[in-house]
Structure 1
Amino acid sequence: MIEINLSTLINFIKKDKPIDGYLINLQEKEELILSDIYIIDIKISNCKFINGDLLIYDKYDGITEKNEGELNRLLYIENCEFEGLKFENCEIKNLEIKKSLITKNELNIHTCIFEKLDIWGFNKLSFNLCLKNIIVQTKCQIIGNDYKENGLLSIINSSLKNSSFRESKFNRINLFESNFTGFFDFYKNSFYKSGGQFNFYECVFEKANFNETTFSYYSDFKNCKFFKTTLFQDIKSLTESCLYFENCLFDSFVQFNHASIHKIEIDNVKFNDVASFQNTYFDKIFIDRTIFEKAALFDDIQIKNIDRCNRRTIRTIKLQLQKAENKIDFNRFRVYEFNAYQEDIKQKLTSFKKDEKRFYHRKREPIQLKRDLFILRISEFVSEYGTDWKRALKFTLFSGLLFYSILYRIENSGTFNLEKTNEFFVGLFRFFLVTDFYNPLITDKIYLTNPLSWTVFIFGKIVIAFGIYEMIQSFRKFKA
């Protein structure tokens, strides 16, 4: 490899000589000034730059918005090695950097305007790839890169049109205060298990695609706006990871179908159009202060740790299932809500016990909560809140037999005559007739006379009636 300095490289460019296979020794403070090079296309390939970072810039200060087609410089860099590479204050029609290597510092593009930007094919990219205050007018592709160790992709205060970041493996990502117009493609990306956060802060998207992406340990969308169709279909997350949406707006259709996420949190989010969570799987889910203006589809949603979901989350999902007339899943979440309410009551009662001034305010609330807790426990035990007819039937038969046996022993002085077995079961049948208030132990229509017998008799009838009611409710769970 022939060694040359930057001045020689510039002379080769001006003379339109091919720049291929050189070792470029960068002296202190040497820079490549594009406005001094009167050539349209620059192609640098198979070169190695040593002893410093390569700085490419134009002389003017700042960039101005230009119409598409006004930029006329093309710069191609392929299969090169840099200690660091920086672009500042440049106007370039097409910048393409592919299959290159940064060994020490970073690839930094600051205050530039491009018609087209391509950065792809970087392997073991363990540095900061930073785009700040840039404009891409037609197409931006940063694809097929492998970010390892300390590799970080940062896009700050920029405007990118038709941008693609697909099929890459990331370590960390920071996208701040940027506008992604046209199509934003984040398809089929993944993250290293040792990777850090994936942050989207105050970004604006038109049409976005995150399909089949595996998200990092902590992936955060905060104060973001999505104005057209947004797809999170078939997304996944690492174990013990969290996908977090806070203060976001989805103005059009959004789809999370077939997502498989460890934990998802949706806090203070507004969905102006249909939001679909069909056939999704979550270990944990949290939804609070969220508005669904139109339908939210939660058909066949599965939540592994449903007992760790708060009541607001469950109620939100249940309400959307009810609006969609999904009676099957609605009944599932109705049960989940009652269980969650039980846990809430237990926590409130515990807090009341710790409150030394509980007798001076809300004195009746603990009493009411205990009543609710009793009813919930009974309903859960008997028929799982009116959803299990077999459990209700078993409860009715067992409790009816129990109370009847107690009544029989009271009326017969604690003895059982084997010769009157038929009479025993005939009386038992009459005892299960809720509207029959005559003594079931005799054939004549005579009332009981023993007060204790009446007490057992009345309680038995109440329990049987309750069991029958719960059984009927279970059969009607799919009715309107």
Structure 2
Amino acid sequence: MIYTKDNFINTLDVIGVIENETIDLTGEEIIIENNFLHSLEFSNCEIIANKIEFFGIRNNLLEIRFYNCSIQAELTFTNCIIQGIYFEKTKSLKSLNLQKGYNNEHIFEIEQLQFKDTFKTTNSLTTDITIRGCLFKNEFSFHNINHSIGSIKLIRNKFGYDNIEFEEHNFMMQNSTLNNIWFHKNCFYNFISFTNCLFTRNTTDTFKANSFTQNIFNFIYFNQCSFNNNETFTKCEFKDYSYFENLIDINSGILNFIDCIFHQYISFNNSQLNKFSIERSTFKDIASFQQTNFQLIKIDRVNFEKGAYFDEISLNIKGCDRISLRTIKQQLQKAENRIDYNRFRGYELQAYYQELDWKNNFKDKAILWATKASTGFEHSWTKALRFVLTGAAIFYSLFFFSENYMLSPNLDFSSLKDFLSGYFRFLIVTDFYNPLEEKRIFIDNSNTIGWIIFILGKIVLAFGIYEMIQAFRKFKA
């Protein structure tokens, strides 16, 4: 059938179903304002037009369905009250716009919007989706969508109603690839789920990051998601439980939370990310980061009012700043996790050591250098033992040669027995007698160099023993 603008609208009004047709309205802008009394269905159709707009329709029983269609047109719904819009196995879609209009009296209410099995196993979705000022009463769902080019913008929408049970609504985006996401000033009054989604950003687009800005979330489920660029939550409010678990970064991206408020428990457990950043945010309840793996973490001006769990967290500390490491250390201390607390105490000292320079911070740098040389910042007793034995051997050897050079030039230096006997005696930190003499005799006063070496050696020995004792006590309260 050859369609014109008029008979196209008339067919929808009379029959309501168009199947296996090519609707070629090239260059036409079609406005449909009929309050249909039945459902509209497009099945296995190719629709070509400049723009098709459903405007001002008021029929809360009307369902509009597109099944296995190719839509080469700007598809727009403005100022409507309808039951639902459904897309299933769509082959192509130029653009989709849902909007309430610009007059304060205009509204857009819909029970259900559903995308299903679109492009997941065939071509990718190359379209811009803009949804602005709409109320979704019951369902908003994206299932098995491969959206790799274009953008998805949700602006000033409401999902569900306040004080309504979560299980009555179905708001979710799952098992999908979502490109260039921007969610701005939306209210998710009820449960919203992002499950097993890949968030991407097309680098040719003006988007700098996939972003969620100034949204209100109640119960949010953001599990098993991955992203290949930056993902940012800015000035968002999380009123109920929030789960960001098992997240994966596949291309050195960054997950940012900036100026956010979390009223209830939030979990980031078992996530593996390149960079994780929280800035100027408040956690009013417990936050959990257990068994996470971050290449870099930044925590800046964050208030954990009831504490945070960082058990078994793994970091590449070379890129982490000292403030973030100290914040994690403090939370581990509050949680009485002595094992991870000591680990992050060492990380903090190591970061501080790297910040200092010898010229302007000689005293602190020297102390931390001695700690690094003796036990390492991880307070290893085995390293302390090596430090004691090696340091003692070096100073004792210098003392041994000074004594024999100055006092006993005829001594047989091949005598290993005398050398070792004196060495083991030198290891007794409280023994200040000459370790080369059988009797309890002090070092000859004429050997000034020997005295200096001897005293310095005892200081190094005492320091090493002290550090080894501290290493054994690192798990003590």
The question of a shared fold, defined as TM-score above 0.5 by the shorter chain, is answered with yes
In the TM superposition, residue 419 of structure 1 has moved relative to its aligned partner by 8.6
User: C-alpha root-mean-square deviation of aligned residues, in Å?
Assistant: 2.4
Deviation at 1:420, TM superposition (A): 6.5
Q: 1:56-135 counterparts in 2 under 5 A?
A: 56-58=54-56, 71-82=60-71, 83-104=73-94, 106-111=95-100, 112-123=108-119, 124-135=124-135
* Closer/same/farther in 2, CA of residues 75 and 379 from structure 1, 3 Å limit: same
Distance 1:420 1:146, change over 3 A: closer
Match in the other structure for 1:430? 425
Residues 262-341 of structure 1 mapped to structure 2, 5 A cutoff = 262-304=274-316, 306-341=317-352
> Could you report, residue by residue, the CA deviation over 1:247-299 in whole angstroms, capped at 9, with x for unpaired residues?
11121111111211111111112122221111211222211111112231212
Number of residues paired by the alignment? 446
- The CA distance in 1 between the partners of 2:313 and 2:42, in whole Å, is 53
Matches within 5 A, 1:158-177: 158-161=157-160, 162-177=170-185
Give, in whole Å, the separation in 2 of the partners of 1:59 and 1:140: 20
The residue aligned with 1:359 is none
> Contact (CA 8 Å) 2:135, 2:159: kept in 1 or not?
yes
Deviations along 1:398-435, one digit per CA (max 9) or x if unpaired, are 22233223333333335443597555444333322222
* Offset, 1:99: 2.4
How far does residue 30 in structure 1 lie from its aligned partner after superposition? 3.1
Distance 1:418 1:30 in 2: 106
Partner Cα distance (1:102, 1:109) in 2? 18
Aligned to 2:213: 201
Note if contact 1:6-1:25 (Cα within 8 Å) is conserved in structure 2: no
Name the counterpart of 2:253. 241
User: Is residue 454 of structure 1 aligned with residue 451 of structure 2?
Assistant: yes
Q: What one-letter code is carried by the residue in structure 1 that aligns with 2:392?
A: G
- CA deviation vs aligned residue, 1:428-450 (integer Å, no higher than 9, x gap): 33322222223333333333342
Match of 1:43, SS state, is strand
Question: What one-letter code is carried by the residue in structure 2 that aligns with 1:49?
Answer: I
Give the drift of 1:73: 2.6
Write the distance in 1 (CA, Å) between the matches of 2:471 and 2:16.
Answer: 85
Report the CA distance between 1:371 and its aligned residue: 0.3
For the 8 Å contact 1:193–1:238, the answer to whether it is kept is no
> Structure 1, residues 157-179: CA drift from partner, whole Å, max 9, x if none?
11123421111112211111111
Shift of 1:183: 1.2
Give the drift of 1:132.
0.5
**Residue 19 of structure 1 contacts residue 44 of structure 1 at CA under 8 Å; is this kept in 2?**
yes
* CA distance in 2 between partners of 1:76 and 1:103 (Å): 14
Aligned counterparts of 2:428 and 2:399: Cα–Cα separation in 1? 15
Deviation of 1:370 (Å): 1.0
1:345 aligns with 2:335: no
Aligned pair partner of 2:393 in 375, 397, 401: 401
Q: Percent same amino acid at aligned positions?
A: 32
* Structure 2, gaps ≥5 residues long: 101-107, 161-169
> How far apart are 1:225 and its partner, in Å?
1.2
Q: Match for 1:375 among 367, 390, 402? A: 367
Deviations 1:285-337 (A, max 9, x none): 21111111223121222223x11111011111111222222222222222211
Task: Identify if the C-alpha distance between structure 1 residues 193 and 160 changes in structure 2 by more than 3 Å, giving closer, same or farther.
Answer: closer
Whole-Å Cα distance in 2 between the matches of residues 257 and 17 of structure 1?
50
Which of 251, 255, 261 is residue 267 of structure 2 equivalent to? 255
Query: Are 1:183 and 2:191 counterparts?
Result: yes
Task: Work out whether residues 342 and 378 of structure 2, in 8 Å CA contact, stay in contact via their aligned partners in 1.
Answer: no
Q: Kindly tell me: are residues 74 and 417 of structure 1, through their superposed partners in 2, closer, same or farther at Cα, counting changes over 3 Å?
A: same
Q: Deviations over 1:444-472 (max 9, x none)?
A: 33333424333222222111111111111
Partners of 1:16 and 1:103 in 2: CA distance: 24
How far has the Cα of 1:100 moved from its partner?
2.6
C-alpha separation in 2, matches of 1:423 and 1:21: 103
Q: Is the CA contact 2:176–2:198 (under 8 Å) kept in the aligned structure 1?
A: yes
Does the CA-based 8 Å contact 2:30-2:51 persist in structure 1? no
Shift of residue 185 of structure 1? 1.0
Task: Give yes or no for contact 1:173–1:199 (8 Å, CA) kept in 2.
Answer: yes
Aligned to 1:66: none
- Alpha-carbon distance between aligned partners in 2 of 1:18 and 1:423, rounded to the nearest angstrom: 106
Normalised by the length of structure 2, the TM-score is 0.87
